[in-house]
Structure 1
């Protein structure tokens, strides 16, 4: 009979192989946009093939392959667990200013460097490794396991996870009963939900004029600046209507301490509040001309308990009433409601927490995330999805790097959690 000790021994024995896999994965550039993940996908397919697993490719866009595979346990029917992760990364930000090439995959002995190391090639590689280890032990498992390594997460998921769950030939294969995902969240937490996003494009239109004749028109940029100030005041004044059990959970001093530890001082409060970020303003004319139009984007993060309709009503009633020159449009593809399922009541949550505690010596706390992940698409379908991954520090920034010990801890936790869930 296989055992946890057997699994851990194999992981430790293959440590260097797994580190080299992550290095090759990072070295295969996959920034999105433009979204070409073919090189990175080939790294994953080759690794699976080396472990006698034939993966399928589902590619609604040829340059964005989704790598999928599944197997049945040999002890009979049971739950279906899905490993989900993405292959694409943010584009490199000012690559000439990086200390090392963004795609170096450099190993300094304690960390692997490169764009996507944190978000989320370490997590996706960990899930793929876990899948191979479990497939090798299929005779000891009930139920089934699926793997979905997708190529379109950074730009919305319409050709990635969302496509697999809604438009592929057999969506049931990739939905499962529950999901484990390796997005960066910190080893101190299991994420069971996340904030929503409401993305708006505002257009301010005024008559415009020569810069000397301010009596003829207020400049659209000046109106926009005042509008943004009012928008911020309104958005940040709105309270969410959290369910009582979540209120109690997030009021717990230990929970708040862990949130601040992972995401920085003050994060525990921000997690439960709406936040506003403003994108590039477009004035469109020279400085000596009163512009007739200004366009800017607003990215509003919605905490659990605050809906899009509530936010839009407040914006219409409290902001736009004072700015007749302004209108807005919702960017539907980039707007998603806050979501959570199975706070701490799902058996996979316990399996993840037990496995993580055994590996790291510390029991992770159930939390919601501030950033979006593909887990939302599962939760919208009523499928519990949980995130356990490396620290989010440095993701997408110059000098992004993942600690090797954290990466290995995620490999072990993902493998042992699903092993416990399907073998007991």
Structure 2
């Protein structure tokens, strides 16, 4: 699109930004915590909003109370793009630690407040509004634009994007996920993930005789944890083709003031997430379970990490079992030169009047599923990063508005290219 046409569209959208802010506020008022994973209310609300804008919708219940919503604007050409987001949030947790009601949807001091504001109801509001805006304004699209809202990203990631792709409800030439990102830096790649639970078995005995009686599963588990954590010390040979992207991403990390974090893109990280063991203080523990979350850089795989962990545990001479769970993926990315990346980054630069560029993310996301189906994808959404999954989650109103502008302009540019 030419600059003059973009500027006209921007002014039209800005004239209706209060509608966008109200939409985001209303989404924040709806409790869509996962677990429990009930997306009924939020799906119904968005469904009604889209229908009022003149859009048709399709709703798929992939599991009880887990609803996927799809809406499409058909254009003149055959090129296809997806705008994607998840409607579930992590739980609000201890509400006494919030300085405001996490489901108030309050707008205060330039921020939208509430659970999911940054992850990712600000982004969901932007892509939903973008679809409604294009429909209401009667803007002719040069291709087909699909909105996909999924209920299951925060816990398990089974009944959302992978379910839609597996059941042939989604296909496209490019996709944008409205996940939180830096204002100038969409994430065009993610590390892999390998989550597993180690259960260590001991021999019970009277606590007054430990360590001379029985064998403590907890003590053995402590040894196991120490060995598993050595996975971070492994030297990984990073493929040559991704080194420039990693170097660029590390420049971004250092420039953002995140000291020490520039190591994570070349290392396997290992988080000891939960531990549960024993029955009583006066009983030698016969069982102990610990859950690990490892994130994998380019240059290694889930199987390699899993095999390394088992080798280390076997050397300890302990009685244990190991079981995988949760997110599973190897590191993956979409080249910055891909048309979907260029369309989004170019319009970030245009809207922000500053230089935007894509970076790698040290976590993982729904993006990997699109790439498994050969759909190029990147992530860009409004966020106050330090509040994500924490108390007092919030997002800047201006960032929500700017992202909505990028979604509209990027869709038009990508579909006509």
User: Does the 8 Å CA contact 1:341/1:382 hold for their aligned counterparts?
Assistant: no
Aligned residues: 413
1:386 corresponding residue in structure 2: 378
Q: 1:357 aligns with which of 346, 349, 365?
A: 349
1:201 corresponding residue in structure 2: 197
1:317 corresponding residue in structure 2: 311
Give the whole-Å Cα distance in 1 for the aligned partners of 2:332 and 2:195. Answer: 20
SS in 1 for 2:198: strand
Q: 1:4 aligns with which of 6, 11, 25?
A: 6
Q: CA deviation at 1:220?
A: 0.9
2:74 corresponding residue in structure 1: 72
Give the whole-Å Cα distance in 2 for the aligned partners of 1:5 and 1:136. Answer: 18
SS in 2 for 1:217: coil
Q: Show CA shifts across 1:376-413 (max 9, x none).
A: 11111121111011233211111000011111111111
User: Does the 8 Å CA contact 2:200/2:320 hold for their aligned counterparts?
Assistant: yes
Give the whole-Å Cα distance in 1 for the aligned partners of 2:371 and 2:284. Answer: 48
Give the whole-Å Cα distance in 1 for the aligned partners of 2:254 and 2:190. Answer: 16
Q: CA deviation at 1:119?
A: 0.4
Matched, 1:229 2:200: no
SS in 2 for 1:175: coil
User: Does the 8 Å CA contact 1:227/1:323 hold for their aligned counterparts?
Assistant: no
User: Does the 8 Å CA contact 1:274/1:302 hold for their aligned counterparts?
Assistant: yes
Matched, 1:423 2:408: no
Matched, 1:43 2:73: no
User: Does the 8 Å CA contact 2:184/2:349 hold for their aligned counterparts?
Assistant: no
User: Does the 8 Å CA contact 2:112/2:397 hold for their aligned counterparts?
Assistant: yes
TM-score (norm: length of structure 1): 0.92
Q: Show CA shifts across 1:40-99 (max 9, x none).
A: 12221222122111222111234222111112212x33x210111000100112112211
Aligned pairs for 1:320-335 within 5 A: 320-331=314-325, 334-335=326-327
User: Does the 8 Å CA contact 2:39/2:66 hold for their aligned counterparts?
Assistant: yes
Give the whole-Å Cα distance in 2 for the aligned partners of 1:336 and 1:261. Answer: 30
Q: CA deviation at 1:143?
A: 2.1
User: Does the 8 Å CA contact 2:218/2:278 hold for their aligned counterparts?
Assistant: no
The Cα RMSD (Å) is 1.9
Aligned pairs for 1:127-206 within 5 A: 127-136=127-136, 140-167=140-167, 171=168, 173-206=169-202
Aligned pairs for 1:272-421 within 5 A: 272-331=266-325, 334-391=326-383, 392-421=385-414
Give the whole-Å Cα distance in 1 for the aligned partners of 2:124 and 2:65. Answer: 19
User: Does the 8 Å CA contact 1:202/1:295 hold for their aligned counterparts?
Assistant: yes
User: Does the 8 Å CA contact 2:266/2:297 hold for their aligned counterparts?
Assistant: yes
Q: Which moved more, 1:348-357 or 1:239-248?
A: 239-248
TM-score (norm: length of structure 2): 0.94
Give the whole-Å Cα distance in 1 for the aligned partners of 2:395 and 2:111. Answer: 5
Q: 2:55 aligns with which of 53, 56, 61?
A: 53
5+ long unaligned stretches in structure 2: none
Q: CA deviation at 1:139?
A: 5.9
2:259 corresponding residue in structure 1: 265
1:244 corresponding residue in structure 2: 240
The alpha-carbon distance between structure 1 residues 339 and 415, as it changes in their structure 2 partners (threshold 3 A), is farther
SS in 2 for 1:413: helix
Q: CA deviation at 1:416?
A: 0.8
Q: Show CA shifts across 1:244-292 (max 9, x none).
A: 131123224xx32312455832222112211111132222321122111
Q: Which moved more, 1:139-148 or 1:394-403?
A: 139-148
User: Does the 8 Å CA contact 1:205/1:293 hold for their aligned counterparts?
Assistant: yes
2:99 corresponding residue in structure 1: 99
User: Does the 8 Å CA contact 1:37/1:64 hold for their aligned counterparts?
Assistant: yes
Matched, 1:126 2:126: yes
